A and B are shown apart, each in its own frame.
Chain A
Amino acid sequence: MTKRRLRLGGFFSVPGNHLAGWRHPDAQPTYDMDFQGYAHITQVAEAAKFDCIFFQDTVGVSGSRQLARGERARSKLSRTVKLEPTATLAALAMVTERIGLVATATTTYNEPYNIARRFMSIDHISDGRAGWNLVTSQIEDESENFGFDQHMAHAERYERAEEFYEVVTGLWDSWEDDGLLRDKKSGVYMDRDKVHFLDHVGKHFKVKGPLNITRSRQGWPVIAQAGSSEAGRELAARTADVVFTAQTKIDEAKAFYADIKKRAAKYGRSPDDIKIMPGLTPVLGKTMDDAKANYEYLQSLMPDDVALLSLTHISGGLDLTKYPLDGPLPDLPPSNAAKARQALVVKTARDHNMTLRQIARHTAAGTGHRVIVGTAEYMADEMEKWLNEEAADGFNVVCNHYPKPFEDFCTEVVPLLQQRGVFRTEYGGKTLRENLGLKMPENRYTRARLKEAS
């Protein structure tokens, strides 16, 4: 049996995922708006043979409702502005050759025709390396940028997301692979029998089609998803090629992994059709003590008031500044926003008997993702263990600041993984699907035609 191999994604949370990471002497705090910075870390990831890079997204300034109310403390938070991720992917495609390019785009405040077109365009620009992380908008401060006083209820958001997915993938099949004839002699550019109207009429959308772009070298963009709620898991099991998740404990990760793969079987999918990639934040050191000291130093850069702000989005509207920092995390009202994320944070706090200050500092350090503090050896051990115990198919590496911790991960940890034979030393394929080991989706119309003919 061939050895299981890791998938690696570079989850770029610029200028740093740790809320005070930008204050580190090595940090480049202008990496939020500087395209050359994005290009540099993407090229570093490509040199290390990462499967993909990934950008999270929100369609608003995080905490803008609080900013509008005059909460000046939020002006200490670094992830305020950044480059819009889909435009960035298009640009990064021009300065890279093999690495996959994945970004989040919400189904809540977009139109499916526009999203289908944009991601398929990026797939053409990159010649088959694009991926779309399909999300629903879960942050209260996004809705007010789109004319809504509050965002849609969780159930409705997922219902819309499912229909959105159907429309987008339906549009992606508009053209069969030989639909463009370009026959100068006959003067016929397209084969009208190979171009199809979707004629979708649903609860949320009415979209005729066809899309004005053909399929790409990999058929369609890779679909990623990040929802961990019941509705999110079900949608992922049915539709996702990649699942980005945030388990911090191996037992929880194994349970999640088994659950998603089991659900996928129900939809006739093989376990290999879905790659599960938890987030991982590396804090490296020459020795374990050195790594711990590096982490302590980073944490020392973060004021308590900034740490507390990292809980705003899962607080269910409760004003946590009114509670004593050394007391327990109070009971939170249910959040219409990030249900699964809230549950994860509450569980972490309860399991470890953490004070409000401790859980705030813990969350701010990794925004919920697993932080591994240790040597390169230790980190490689941990990753291999998660891989072999079926807690993960790979990891999405998200750094506390950029570019140094990411460069260090690529030059110190990746070679160890390669020596152990659990990570590639060369790209095997040209497209993201090929590199991830995913099937190319068949065109539904071609399939129907072939079925009819047989």
Chain B
Amino acid sequence: MTKAKRQLRFGAFFSVPGCHPTGWRHPDAVCETDLSMKLLADMARTAERGKLDCMFFQDSVAIPGSTAVYGGKVFREKNGRQAHIEPVSAIAALGAITSRIGLVSTCTTSYNEPYNVARRFLTIDHISGGRAGWNLVTSQAEDEAVNFGRDQHFEHGIRYDRAAEFHDVVVGLWDSWEDDAFLRDKASGQWFDYDKMHILNHHGKHFNVRGPLNVARSPQGRPVIAQAGSSDVGMELAARTADMVFTAQDVIKESRAFCDDMRGRLDKYGRGPEDIRIFPGIMPIVGRTETEAREKYEELRDLVDDGVGIAGVARLAGGVDIHSMDPDGPLPPLKPSNAARARQERIIAMGQRGMTIRQIGRVLAMSQSHRVLWGTPKSIADDLQAWLEAGACDGFNLLFQHYPKPLEEWVDLVIPELQRRGLFRTEYESTTFRGNLGVPIPKNRFAQNARSIQVPAAAASND
């Protein structure tokens, strides 16, 4: 029997009204996608029609750039992303009107309590019948910190330390009840089996949480965990805990090295190479012809506001005053940033390739620093196929410059081309997100313990 061909997976990245900060100005852009649940629901149906693995919502707990002084004033008034529906609520809502697509939302570990986060995501996992995912992040922007009583955000090391412990508390709470803990036996009056309830009693550096959680386990065991950290400490956390990794990669060889590095870290946590799915981000720009695609690309590139682009570089500059420098000059040496380390390394690499501050700014601004891929459905499929076959990805997170048309084009033009090549599913394999991603349902940690106690020692040794 021939081995089933390896297939691509896709997440539709949602940063409404556009991942391109000024993409909302495009004539096709519908700006109201930021606050209209009806439009979000329509897009969820489109994505599900295209059999995409998931919708993946970005988040920040502030208006991005609200406290950054830019041009002598606060706010980045030209950016589209100013106000939007809180994404955890959005995926709860979408769970009620979709049936197969995974629903992932970002939620920070820096300004939440693990009990609350555990509860909300596991609830959404129930509402959706096992299709929830949590993108675990740490908050790295000052404009978020000041909404939570802090003058600055947490230092990188502390943030990750807290995130790791936060994760452990959340997944520990998710195992509070074994799958068959609830008897609901009307005749005996017994509601649950006391021995199948587990109290976490976590005592750690950042959290003390007793448990149990007041939500039962879900049809997929527990929500999928996604992570986007590509720094060394971020990769280590992902290797230990993530089912899905979102990463920014420009070059096939480097992405292959990233995948190998990530998979190489799994074994020490008792995980297999198929237990994690790696999704580089791309911003696709689809045309029916090469010329149409190039024109679209140029149109979108020209919408970039250089001020926004250069502010993006400044944010990653680790305190170096980029605004006072010649935008058409080279990127100066940077001090390590307390914000996004891996992203800073990428702009340093761009600078080494001879790009000016303005040019780097445009790349950052256009696609949130992800790879821009323009072409026909065929040329795009060729590119993605090459990445897949080189072991440089399991799939891609799709950053749309605006909504909803680029998503519709992806579903109507690119997906059929990939399906013809056998590179993408024509039907969902499962009703759960884990089932479609092909990652395992984690065993309840306490149930394993319980079983090992029940096996008599003599019988076990005879096996």
- A residues bordering B, Cβ < 8 Å? 20, 22-25, 27, 29-30, 33-35, 39, 58-61, 64, 67-68, 72, 75-78, 80-84, 86-88, 90-95, 109-111, 113-114, 117-118, 120-122, 124-125, 127, 144-147, 175, 180, 182, 184, 187-192, 195, 197, 205-210, 212-214, 301, 303, 306
Residue of B nearest to A213 (CB): B83
Q: Is the CB of B116 within 8 A of A110?
A: yes
Q: Which of A87, A113, A146, A301 contacts B147 (CB 8 A)?
A: A113
Contacts of A111 in B (CB 8 A): 111-112, 148
User: Contacts A187-B78, A213-B35; is A80 near B184 (CB within 8 Å)?
Assistant: no
Are A213 and B191 closer than 8 Å at their CB atoms? no
Best-surrounded residue of B77, B116, B147, B148 (most CB of chain A within 10 A): B147
A67 touches B199 (CB 8 A): yes
Are B207 and A64 in touch, CB under 8 angstroms?
no
Asked if A144 and B123 make an inter-chain contact with CB atoms under 8 angstroms apart, the answer reads no
Whether B115 pairs with A145 at a CB distance below 8 angstroms is: yes
Q: Given the complex of chains A and B, what is the CA–CA distance between A242 and B27 in angstroms?
A: 45
For A85, the closest partner residue in chain B by CB is B123
The segment from B209-217, B274-282, B454-462 found at the interface with A is B209-217
Q: Beyond the given A75-B194, A81-B177, A187-B305, please list 9 additional residue pairs across the A-B interface where CB-CB is below 8 A.
A: A87-B92, A88-B127, A91-B92, A94-B94, A114-B111, A117-B86, A120-B86, A182-B31, A207-B147
B66 at the interface (CB under 8 A from A): yes
The proximity string for B residues 23-37 relative to A, scoring 1 for CB distances below 8 Å and 0 otherwise, is 011010101100101
Tell me which residues across on chain A come within 8 A of B29, comparing CB atoms: 184
B78 CB to closest chain A CB, in angstroms?
A: 5
Write the chain A residue with the least CB distance to B22: A187
Interface string of B57-76 (1 = CB under 8 A from A): 00011110011000001110
Q: Is the CB of B209 within 8 A of A91?
A: no
Complex partner residue of B75 from A59, A64, A84, A192, CB under 8 angstroms: A192
B201 to chain A, nearest CB (A): 8
Would A76 and B190 be within 8 Å (CB), given that A84-B123, A121-B85 are in contact? yes
In contact, A33 and B126 (Cβ under 8 angstroms): yes
Contact of B35 among A84, A109, A124, A146 (CB under 8 A): A124
Known contacts A75-B190, A81-B177, A87-B124; decide if A212 and B37 are in contact (CB<8 Å): no
Rounded to whole angstroms, the CA-CA distance of A60 and B93 in the bound complex is 24
A-B contacts, 23 of them at CB < 8 A, read A35-B126, A68-B199, A80-B192, A81-B182, A82-B215, A83-B123, A83-B126, A84-B120, A84-B215, A87-B92, A87-B123, A87-B127, A88-B123, A90-B90, A91-B96, A93-B37, A94-B37, A94-B41, A109-B116, A114-B111, A125-B93, A184-B24, A184-B25
- Which residue in chain B gives the minimum CB-CB distance to A212? B63
Which of B22, B67, B182 lies at the interface centre, i.e. has the most chain A CB atoms within 10 A of its CB? Answer: B182
Tell me the complex Cα distance, A34–B207, Å: 31
Task: Using A23-B186, A91-B92 as known contacts, say yes or no to A78 and B120 having CB atoms under 8 A apart.
Answer: no
On whether A75 and B115 interact (CB within 8 A), knowing A91-B95, A189-B77, A208-B147, the answer reads no
Contact call B216/A87, Cβ cutoff below 8 A: no
Counting from the closest, the 8 A-B pairs by CB-CB distance are: A121-B86, A208-B146, A84-B123, A87-B92, A90-B92, A144-B210, A91-B96, A29-B184
How far is it, in angstroms, between the C-alpha of A155 and the C-alpha of B192 when the chains are bound? 36
- Interface residue ranges, B against A (CB under 8 Å): 22, 24-25, 27, 29, 31-32, 35, 37, 41, 60-63, 66-67, 73-75, 77-80, 82-86, 88-90, 92-97, 111-113, 115-116, 119-120, 122-124, 126-127, 146-149, 177, 182, 184, 186, 189-194, 197, 199, 201, 207-216, 305
> B122 CB to closest chain A CB, in angstroms?
8
A116 to chain B, nearest CB (A): 10
A87 to chain B, nearest CB (A): 4
How far apart sit A175 and B197, CA to CA, in the bound complex (Å)? 46
- Contact present for A145 and B209 (CB under 8 Å): yes
CB contacts (< 8 Å) of A184 on chain B: these are 24-25, 27, 29, 31
CB <8 Å contact, B97 and A94: yes
A125 to B90, Cβ gap below 8 A?
yes
Tell me the nearest residue of chain B to A93, going by C-beta. Answer: B93
CB distance from A220 to the nearest CB of B (A): 15
A153 to chain B, nearest CB (A): 19
Q: Are A208 and B112 in contact (CB under 8 A)?
A: no
- On whether A124 and B37 interact (CB within 8 A), knowing A78-B191, A109-B113, A182-B31, the answer reads yes
Which one of A64, A110, A125 contacts B89 once the chains associate, using CB atoms below 8 Å? A125
Tell me the bound Cα distance from A118 to B93 in angstroms. Answer: 12
User: B178 CB to closest chain A CB, in angstroms?
Assistant: 12
Selected contact of A114 from candidates B24, B61, B186, CB within 8 Å = B61
B78 x A60 contact (CB < 8 A)? no
Asked if B90 and A121 make an inter-chain contact with CB atoms under 8 angstroms apart, the answer reads yes
In the complex the two chains form, what is the Cα distance from A32 to B131 in whole Å? 19
Q: Is the CB of A86 within 8 A of B215?
A: no
> From B94, which residue of chain A is reached at the shortest CB distance?
A94
A306 touches B85 (CB 8 A): no
B contact residues around A189 at 8 Å (CB): 24, 31, 77-80, 82
Instruction: Find chain A residues with CB under 8 A from B62 CB.
Output: 212
Closest CB in chain A relative to B189 CB, distance in Å: 5
* Cβ of B67 to closest chain A Cβ, rounded Å: 7
Bound: A214/B61 CA distance, A: 14
Chain B residue nearest to A92 in the complex (CB): B96
Q: Which of A82, A145, A175 has the most CB of B within 10 A?
A: A145
| Cα distance A188–B78 in the bound complex, in angstroms | 5
Tell me whether A210 and B63 are in contact (CB under 8 A): yes
**In the docked arrangement, what's the CA distance between A72 and B66, Å?**
52
Least CB distance from A132 to B in Å reads 13
A356 smallest CB distance to B (angstroms): 20
Q: Which residues of B contact A144 (CB under 8 A)?
A: 208-210
A91 touches B93 (CB 8 A): yes
Residues on B with C-beta less than 8 A from A58 are 214
The answer to whether A195 and B186 touch (CB under 8 A), given A64-B199, A84-B119, A190-B82, is no
- In Å, the complex CA distance between A190 and B147 comes to 20
Min CB distance, A219 to chain B, in Å? 15
Residues of A within 8 A of B95 (CB): 35, 91
Question: Bound state CA distance, A84 and B97, in angstroms?
Answer: 18
B77 to A190, Cβ gap below 8 A?
yes
The answer to whether B113 and A146 have CB atoms under 8 Å apart is yes
Docked-complex contact A113 and B148, CB < 8 angstroms: yes
Min C-beta distance of A19 to chain B, whole Å: 10
Name the one of A24, A64, A84 contacting B212, with C-beta atoms under 8 angstroms: A64
B189 touches A121 (CB 8 A): no
> Measured between C-beta atoms, what is the minimum distance from B234 to chain A in Å?
24
Q: How far is the CA of A212 from the CA of B88 in the complex (A)?
A: 14
Closest to A62 in B: B214
Query: Is the CB–CB distance between A210 and B66 below 8 Å?
Result: yes
For A175, give the chain B residue with the smallest CB separation: B83
User: Which of A39, A64, A118 gathers the greatest number of chain B CB atoms within 10 Å?
Assistant: A64
| Of listed A33, A82, A90, residue having the most chain B CB within 10 A | A90
With beta carbons under 8 angstroms apart, the residue of A20, A33, A114, A190 that contacts B216 is: A33
A144 to B113, CA, bound (A): 12
Bound CA–CA A206/B180 (angstroms) = 44
Q: In the complex, how many angstroms separate the beta carbon of A415 from the nearest chain B beta carbon? A: 29
Query: A76 to B191, alpha carbons, bound, how many Å?
Result: 5
A172 to B305, CA, bound (A): 30
From known contacts A113-B61, A210-B66, A212-B63, infer whether A306 and B89 are also in contact, taking CB-CB under 8 Å. no
> Do residues A195 and B113 form an inter-chain contact, with CB atoms below 8 A?
no
CA distance A406 to B262 in the complex (A): 53
- CA–CA, A22 to B82, complex, Å? 47
User: From B60, which residue of chain A is reached at the shortest CB distance?
Assistant: A212
What residues on B are CB-neighbors of A306 within 8 Å? Answer: 189
Residues of B close to A121: CB separation below 8 A: 85-86, 89-90
Shortest Cβ distance from residue B444 to the other chain A in the assembled complex, whole angstroms = 15
Q: Which residues of the partner chain B approach A75 to less than 8 Å between Cβ atoms?
A: 190-194, 197
On whether the beta carbons of A180 and B37 are closer than 8 Å, the reply is: no
User: B74 to chain A: which residues have CB within 8 Å?
Assistant: 192
Pick the residue among B83, B126, B210 that contacts A212 (CB under 8 A): B83
> Please, how many angstroms separate the alpha-carbon atoms of A191 and B35 in the complex?
17
